[in-house]
Chain A
Amino acid sequence: MRTPTGLKYAKTDEWIKVEGDEAKLGISDYAQDQLSDVVYVEFMVDVDDHVSKGDAVATVESVKAASDVIFPASGTIVAINEDLADAPEMLNSEPYEGGWMVKMVLDDPSDLDEMLEAEEYEAYNEEREG
């Protein structure tokens, strides 16, 4: 399981990577592994939407389950990864690269303070696995 450093992780298994003024959001390697083969990504937001922490980004459907991806921070959507419509399997194969889901401008970067660092998230996953 990959958990790259430099990203922030939520206990609900999203990651956020700050790049300049924008933040990129996706789901973790752990999350895609739990879901198994992703077959469809249904976005709940559009570009220019303002979203609040806790809102749903998308519903990710796999052969096993449908699961909501949640915004760990508030902000405005600036881009949606349209490639996922035709290639949802990118969430499985490259969750931190081609599998990014949305780009947003954060309202308040301090929202990220509550999120976990890579090593903390790894420890949290180990704890969950029991």
Chain B
Amino acid sequence: MSKVEIIPVETRILTPKDDIADIMQQCGKDLGPDDIITVAESVVAITQGKVLRYEDIRPGTLARLLNRFIAKEGSLAGIYGMQACMLAEGQWRVAFALLIGMVGKLFGIRGLFYRLAGDQARLIDDVSGTCPPFDKYIVYGPHKPKQEVARIHAKLNCFGVAIADVNDLKRALIVASTDGIDNAVLSKLLIDNPFGNGNQKRPICIVKNFRQAMAEHKGQSV
């Protein structure tokens, strides 16, 4: 059985002028039918132009009121991150989610806010969350990620495509993937963050023989 191999791919800094599907097509020329290609969610969002500068955001009263209740590590802890989330998900939805989240915490249920406030509450990166020159921007999560992976997949000859949100804190969230990919298996493979953080310019990872990895995981052959 072929060995699973993760190959990070270095690129130049991608900007809203780039089409992520074209970039991944260039990177994925040698992909086989059992391989998949993954891309960092912030890079997909950047190529979609889903970025905002602080100067372009006018935080409202609700954002100023609610950001105070977010833990310091969260991207919504500042008024700009909170307002950006409210612009994407609706301010009353975010406010309601925060209220429910606080009540949930009283009863020992954690994470309710991020479950109820919408995808962007989880995916937004505040300043410094992305490598330069986007370190000075709020970067959203990708827009319609499921459609985006399908669009990219249509240009490639491989088993599948996934968008992942991975960091050095042992978090590997699969934002979207094409049909057939076992997100739990992929998440496990990406847990050590092969993308690299900061300035390493490796937004794409190829996972060779991913289908075999899934088969191994399920304890059955392909």
A and B co-occur in one complex:
no
A contacts, CB < 8 Å to B: none
